[in-house]
Structure 1
Amino acid sequence: MTSTTGSRMTDRPLRLGGRTLRNRLASAPMERNYCDTAGHVTEQYKDYLVRRAEAGIALVTTEATYVRADGKGRTHQLGAHDDSCIDGLRELAEAIHEQGALLCCELNHGGRTAQSKVSGLPNVAPSPVPCSPAGGEMPRELTTEECYELVRAYGAAAARCVAAGIDVLNIHAAHGYLVHQFMSPVSNHRDDEFAQPELFLNLVIDAVRAAAPDVALGVRVSVVEGSSGGLSAEQTFDIVSRAHLDQVDFLDLSAGSYEAGEWIVQSGEWQPGVLADYAGRYRALGTPLGMAGRLNSPEIIEKTLQEGTADFVSLARALHADPRFAAACLSGGSYRPCIACNVCIDNLGAGQVACTVNPTAGRGRVPLPAPEVPSAARTVVVGAGPAGLTAARELAVAGAAVTVFDSSCEIGGDMRIAASMKSTPDFSRFLDWSADEIDRWGITLRTGTEVTASRLAAESPDAVVLATGGVPPDAGIEAGDGARVLDIRDWLRAHGSTAAPEACTIWGADTVAMTVADTFAGRGTKVLLVGAEHEIAPDSGRRAKILAVPRLQENPATRVLLNSRITLAKAGQVLVSSEAGEQEWVQAPGPLLVSQGVRTDDSAAELVPGGVPHVRVGAAGGSGETLLSAIRSGYDAARQLAARIKPVV
């Protein structure tokens, strides 16, 4: 996507305490699993943050950095828990300073969200209240003296950060971590002095300020907790207003908790700048404000700053998708947009944090560019889905003359369908950016064109990328007596993006089935969802389905049958077999739409002229991990083919 700028608030410097930000852009404390298991900075972690500083970010923030070993929540999380961390933090600070940016460290302890299997130590909390989304481990209640010991741990970590040359410290009092746990009635059931929800926060503020008198100091808060029985927006503001704000240089506004993860990392169906309405009351506290929450375009960021909603913005996913987003905010230009699929946050428990649209994220250090190829090198990409579009762009960037064929009249393949669904509207942003990149790099696009062997041979290609997608597997259903059985993607292509039947049955409970069922139900369709799966969308992470699944389960017009199979269909009925072998005829009006994924179709390889290097990529479109794999495969294919084409001498 592209942006243009004029005289903008985004560009203006901002004074926070004794530090000056060169503009109003901060990177948010996004966890990535890029550090080592001892909590030390790695070259990969440093490179990642330096690239954000190079792009123009004024304040680069580390991820939630644990202040004591028992507060560690991730195997490769950054720490400031002992002196061995200082050297790495110092190297990071120096590298960030070389780019003209400031470095901020977010001080944190996981409390009841920490896991003993990760830290090797029992987890502790204000009260023995387990956190189910974090694994449900029962924490040990801190004694009164242990609460004070933990306060001192925050101060000690702050002192290490000062020794490392870090400019700004941010106390994490949000998202259901330890400080927030003391604030919330969900997790604080104490009867000693720490029953006061603001006491632990104030002691931490005082300890950090005493250890770091000259740094700019902030506090990150959840403006609303979001979970049942949690802090309301009014209650949160009341607690924060009793904090020692005379010691604080800024407040950093976020939202949510582990039990309300949709507020921490918001869905694409939520409006940009979603926290703006909550931020207004904090102006009365007289403290400079930062704000997060779906700030995914230069336009919404400038609007937020111009209207005085916040003094600076905290950016996470937008920079993860492309650090050039910062440059676009400051001086215009192209950037790869975040599509709010939330694969990044759902990857956090599995390893290095990836990005669906950024194929380099979570794959080691800064990648080398693809090998240069002669401008006369002709490459053909068959298929303009996300894999084909990615391959075409990377080959064009490497210098090749690229032609893309697609039988459809539009680019995007199955991603185009996904972009019309309720929970994934931001998928269209990637397709809009891809269209811009086609023009930018001079790629020839031929839509509405079936590729034959003779047509491909006429192109005299030096290399071919086959990105024709997959084909549906056999649904395993015997259909008769007027039953209409269609692949779910074929029905959507035939009826358009805004259509919905009066009623339908979906055979399958994968991510595509969930997304379509949720969209149809929202348009008034009566939906029967039958799946052999044990849960809805097991192929998706928690955040990707955090809104859709409850909606389906609570909708009285939707019926969900899991651990079940459809074996026979006739007009208006399906025979459903349970896992236990019981069979039942179930009323199923409307079309029967099959969502059983796709399988690889290698038939397109027969079209490639003999001896021409070719790669098959992107067997499936859709959402979540499947889309991530498609885009990665297109990126990898382009690099592989560029290396096989005669290089520039």
Structure 2
Amino acid sequence: MARLDSPFRIGDVTVPNRLYRAPLLECAGNGPDAVDRLVAELEPAAAAGAGLVCQGATIVRGEGGCAAPGMTRVHDRRFVSELSTLTEAIHDHGGRIAVQLEHGGLRSMETWHAGYREANPDLRQLAVSRPPRLLRAMAATGFLDYDAHVLSTDEVYELAADFGRSAKYCADAGYDVIHLAGANMGLIHQFLSPFYNRRDDEFVDGVRFLEVVHDEIRSRAGDVPVMTKVPAETAAPPVIRRRLSAHDAVGICTRLVEYGYDAVVPVNGSVFWDASIVKGRYPARAWRDDRYREGYAEAFGGRLRARLVALGNWVESKCYAFDPAWNADLCRRVRRLVDVPVLCEGGIRGRGEMERLLAADCDAVGLGRPFYAEPRLPARLLSGDGDDSGGASEDARVVCENCNNCAVPQATGADGVCRTPAVLSEAGRLRKEGAYE
């Protein structure tokens, strides 16, 4: 039985403990302050003891593909070389850092962000296949707009090469692990999903794309460890018949491990970009906040449409209530079949829960949104402020209330920060007591 504070290996990289900061939106962009913003966002987790820090989804091309405003792009060697400042900061604290590579495909801003579409009228989404009929019908409402370019076979290989080039730049800048964004409805997920993938070439088998990406990374970046999220579309509405089952996801994980992937992150979700990937309460405070009202209107095409999106968000909150460690069962099924680390994230909130997960379900545990309220959270979960053995007490828990007020404003380009007074008050109290030292 592994403890939270024990090391493990991803490929040839030793990670000093099994608590990691899962990928989030840093909203740092590529501007002159991007590196400083990323350091400010990510270094506290390493300074507080996180064994692995995952930089959130970064885009492998110079235009298009961003699923939200403010995503960083890593297509440019010169810019990525400057990120060595970030990797060195993480290494100075004894931590390891992964970069999550992504392209949004049909989930990109050129689909859903009205203001972005108006400013970039010639920008088309990249698509695995023609958008599914249901999505095309939804576009008639005006909330979505599809002008998709379906990738040819040669273009798929070129896209895989872009992942390989970006991985090379990142490895040269000191990143320890390459983490592919294989879930949450991004383009890799769209290759894997039978809902999206109706191709008639070799890539009708979506795993083939991940195999080609793996080969590109290996040929360009050497032996840098490679891991990926793998989706099960278990939360998709019953009307969606073509979907990835949990059994399918387990099979994909085993195939990828056999092919050479160094770790996997199995996750449950849907075929849509919805609350199934965050779960929790309706973020009423965020929707009422006057600071973001105009940003919502710009993103969704007017105030009325923004209110309708908020209503849909409320409905989703009823369908996807918070479920502790909601990926644990899927991770356990994968862990029984593979001999590489299985990382688990999604709804993990307490030290005792983490130890139980490590006993049976996974090899490392990740937290995302709780870091918005507690940037130095690992200090509380790993430090000796609880039991006689020097470890944190079993009842140590995050202060996050799963209210999602941190996430919704990011549609406007706002930073990912906690905005719930009661949560911030509790974090402030803990800070005054020295809990994060």
| TM-score, structure 1 as length reference | 0.52
Once the two structures are TM-superposed, the CA of residue 36 in structure 1 deviates from its matched residue by: 3.6
**Residues 221 and 253 of structure 1 are in contact (CA less than 8 Å); yes or no, is this contact kept in structure 2?**
yes
Helix, strand or coil at the partner of 1:344: coil
Helix, strand or coil at the partner of 1:64: strand
Long gaps (5+) in structure 1: 1-6, 360-385, 391-429, 442-649
Q: 1:271 is matched with which residue?
A: 323
2:212 to 194, 200, 203: 203
Helix, strand or coil at the partner of 1:15: strand
**Residues 174 and 257 of structure 1 are in contact (CA less than 8 Å); yes or no, is this contact kept in structure 2?**
no
1:62 to 52, 55, 61: 55
1:286 is the counterpart of 2:339 = yes
Give the Cα separation in 1 of the matches to 2:107 and 2:98. 23
Matched ranges for 1:95-174 at <5 A: 95-116=89-110, 117=116, 120=120, 121-129=123-131, 135-174=144-183
Matched ranges for 1:11-22 at <5 A: 11-22=5-16
**Residues 29 and 61 of structure 1 are in contact (CA less than 8 Å); yes or no, is this contact kept in structure 2?**
yes
Q: 1:42 is matched with which residue?
A: 35
Q: Give, as a single letter, the amino acid of the residue that structure 2 aligns with 1:324.
A: R
**Residues 272 and 300 of structure 1 are in contact (CA less than 8 Å); yes or no, is this contact kept in structure 2?**
no
Assess, with a 3 A threshold, how the Cα gap between structure 1 residues 12 and 438 changes in structure 2: closer, same or farther: closer
Give the Cα separation in 1 of the matches to 2:376 and 2:431. 18
Give the Cα separation in 2 of the matches to 1:83 and 1:288. 30
Deviations 1:223-246 (A, max 9, x none): 335222321111222233333534
Once the two structures are TM-superposed, the CA of residue 439 in structure 1 deviates from its matched residue by: 11
Deviations 1:570-603 (A, max 9, x none): xxxxxxxxxxxxxxxxxxxxxxxxxxxxxxxxxx
**Residues 233 and 268 of structure 2 are in contact (CA less than 8 Å); yes or no, is this contact kept in structure 1?**
yes
Give the Cα separation in 1 of the matches to 2:432 and 2:185. 45
Give the Cα separation in 1 of the matches to 2:257 and 2:94. 31
**Residues 66 and 81 of structure 1 are in contact (CA less than 8 Å); yes or no, is this contact kept in structure 2?**
yes
Q: 1:520 is matched with which residue?
A: none
1:77 to 53, 63, 71: 71
Give the Cα separation in 2 of the matches to 1:115 and 1:319. 25
Q: 2:199 is matched with which residue?
A: 190
Matched ranges for 1:460-539 at <5 A: none
**Residues 226 and 232 of structure 1 are in contact (CA less than 8 Å); yes or no, is this contact kept in structure 2?**
no
| TM-score, structure 2 as length reference | 0.76
**Residues 232 and 248 of structure 2 are in contact (CA less than 8 Å); yes or no, is this contact kept in structure 1?**
no
Give the Cα separation in 1 of the matches to 2:81 and 2:44. 20
**Residues 205 and 244 of structure 1 are in contact (CA less than 8 Å); yes or no, is this contact kept in structure 2?**
no
Work out the number of aligned pairs and report it.
364
CA RMSD of aligned residues (A): 2.9
Q: 1:492 is matched with which residue?
A: none
Give the Cα separation in 2 of the matches to 1:323 and 1:79. 23
Helix, strand or coil at the partner of 1:71: coil
Q: Give, as a single letter, the amino acid of the residue that structure 2 aligns with 1:73.
A: A
**Residues 123 and 139 of structure 1 are in contact (CA less than 8 Å); yes or no, is this contact kept in structure 2?**
yes
Once the two structures are TM-superposed, the CA of residue 353 in structure 1 deviates from its matched residue by: 2.7
Assess, with a 3 A threshold, how the Cα gap between structure 1 residues 314 and 181 changes in structure 2: closer, same or farther: same
Give the Cα separation in 2 of the matches to 1:9 and 1:36. 38
Give the Cα separation in 2 of the matches to 1:222 and 1:145. 25
Once the two structures are TM-superposed, the CA of residue 86 in structure 1 deviates from its matched residue by: 1.6
Between Structure 1 and Structure 2, the one with more strand by share is 1
1:337 to 380, 388, 399: 399
Matched ranges for 1:489-638 at <5 A: none
Give the Cα separation in 2 of the matches to 1:137 and 1:187. 14
When Rg is computed on C-alpha atoms for both structures, the one with the higher figure is 1
1:324 is the counterpart of 2:371 = no
Q: Give, as a single letter, the amino acid of the residue that structure 2 aligns with 1:236.
A: A
Q: 1:472 is matched with which residue?
A: none
Matched ranges for 1:359-378 at <5 A: none
Give the Cα separation in 1 of the matches to 2:40 and 2:397. 19
Q: 2:46 is matched with which residue?
A: 53
Q: 1:235 is matched with which residue?
A: 248
Give the Cα separation in 2 of the matches to 1:273 and 1:148. 36
Helix, strand or coil at the partner of 2:366: strand
Deviations 1:358-393 (A, max 9, x none): 77xxxxxxxxxxxxxxxxxxxxxxxxxx49x94xxx
Once the two structures are TM-superposed, the CA of residue 287 in structure 1 deviates from its matched residue by: 2.1
Assess, with a 3 A threshold, how the Cα gap between structure 1 residues 175 and 195 changes in structure 2: closer, same or farther: same
**Residues 27 and 319 of structure 1 are in contact (CA less than 8 Å); yes or no, is this contact kept in structure 2?**
yes
**Residues 128 and 141 of structure 1 are in contact (CA less than 8 Å); yes or no, is this contact kept in structure 2?**
yes
Q: Give, as a single letter, the amino acid of the residue that structure 2 aligns with 1:47.
A: A
Assess, with a 3 A threshold, how the Cα gap between structure 1 residues 336 and 175 changes in structure 2: closer, same or farther: closer
Give the Cα separation in 2 of the matches to 1:55 and 1:211. 33
**Residues 211 and 259 of structure 2 are in contact (CA less than 8 Å); yes or no, is this contact kept in structure 1?**
no
Give the Cα separation in 2 of the matches to 1:238 and 1:151. 22
**Residues 279 and 323 of structure 2 are in contact (CA less than 8 Å); yes or no, is this contact kept in structure 1?**
no
Once the two structures are TM-superposed, the CA of residue 357 in structure 1 deviates from its matched residue by: 5.0
Once the two structures are TM-superposed, the CA of residue 37 in structure 1 deviates from its matched residue by: 5.4
Deviations 1:73-120 (A, max 9, x none): 333111111223223321111111111111101111111111333794
Matched ranges for 1:216-227 at <5 A: 216-224=225-233, 226-227=235-236
Assess, with a 3 A threshold, how the Cα gap between structure 1 residues 160 and 323 changes in structure 2: closer, same or farther: same
1:10 is the counterpart of 2:62 = no
1:304 is the counterpart of 2:304 = no
**Residues 7 and 14 of structure 2 are in contact (CA less than 8 Å); yes or no, is this contact kept in structure 1?**
yes
Helix, strand or coil at the partner of 1:162: helix
Long gaps (5+) in structure 2: 111-115, 282-320, 386-395
Give the Cα separation in 1 of the matches to 2:176 and 2:131. 35
Once the two structures are TM-superposed, the CA of residue 13 in structure 1 deviates from its matched residue by: 0.7
